[in-house]
Amino acid sequence: MAKTDGGESGIGHHIFRPGGDVSAQSIFGEMESDPYLRNDIVIVEEYIDSPNHLSPSLEVYVPPRGEGEPRITYLSNQLFLGLSDFYGLLIDREQTRSQWYPALAESGLLIARRLQEMGYAGHFDLDTVVDDSDRVYLLELNSRRTAGTHVHEFACHYFGPNYLDVLYPMAGQRRGVIFAVTSILAANEFGCIIVAESTGEALALHQQLRGRIQNSPR
């Protein structure tokens, strides 16, 4: 895969698969036709196929040196429409019981301790992909608060630190939609937190919400 250093959400990404035309002439021809690749650094990476669509993100908090050990704040699975159009993340306790999680957690805390030794303090996350053999591949490190930090902190504040073990009642149902970002309503968009008893129910509720939005008058 070739991509622009300044791209995001699939912008400037080109995937060249075995069996196709992977000659140097064909590759350079396709890249030269993309305006996003003309005036930026081009990065070439191995494309990791993930049939299970697993893209875990592990967030860790690093205290200042001498003020405690780094700790994992939350684990999520990043959700995408199509190839790389990010549209949210999923936090549930099932992910921490997976075969790939111990290796990711151990690696995240190891990186956190090294960063702490270098003087770093604050949040960071590791974006990864898990293949069909449960092998974890590191994509990038974001040295900041991340997409799900506000979801995690909301749940801790509203439900308590053990929020993964509790259920949310709404109108007699143990599920619901909590509107979290309304500043973009003028653009017919909003952000929300979906709470449900299971991963499948949360995703089904999300699809139901999307259907209602798409079929409603603007």
Q: What is the pLDDT of residue 167?
A: 47
Joined tokens for residue 176: 């619901």
Task: Give the pLDDT mean for 67-88.
Answer: 83
Q: Band of the pLDDT at 172, cuts 50, 70, 90?
A: low
Q: In the predicted model, what is the mean pLDDT of residues 29-52?
A: 81
Of 7-21, 34-48, 66-80, 88-102, minimum mean pLDDT range: 7-21
- Report which residue type is found at 96: T
- Give the burial class of 147: count Cβ atoms within 10 A of its Cβ; 0-12 exposed, 13-18 middle, 19 or more buried: middle
User: In sequence order, what are the residues at sequence separation of 6 or more whose Cβ sits closer than 8 angstroms to the Cβ of residue 16?
Assistant: 1, 2, 22, 27
CA-wise closest residue to 27 among 39, 42, 48:
42
Q: Which of 82, 60, 78 is nearest to 69 (CA)?
A: 60
Containing H/E element for 92?
none
| Residue 155 token pair | 């749940």
Q: In what order do the strands lie in the sheet with 122-130?
A: 85-90, 71-81, 56-62, 122-130, 136-142
What is the C-alpha radius of gyration for the chain, rounded to an integer number of angstroms?
20
Q: How confident is the model at residue 173 (pLDDT cuts 50, 70, 90)?
A: low
Say which residue, 217 or 80, is predicted with more confidence: 80
In the chain the domains, ranked by start, together with CATH numbers, are 2-44 (no CATH), 49-148 (3.30.470.20), 167-218 (no CATH)
**In the beta sheet, which residues pair with residue 74?**
59
Mean pLDDT of the chain: 82
pLDDT at 166 over 60: no
CA distances from 193 to 9, 74, 135, 203 (A): 21, 15, 29, 12
Give the dihedral of Cα atoms 176, 177, 178, 184; nearest 10 deg.
Answer: 180
Residue 141 β-bridge partners: 126
Of the candidates 166, 162, 68, 167, the residue with the CA atom closest to the CA atom of residue 112: 68
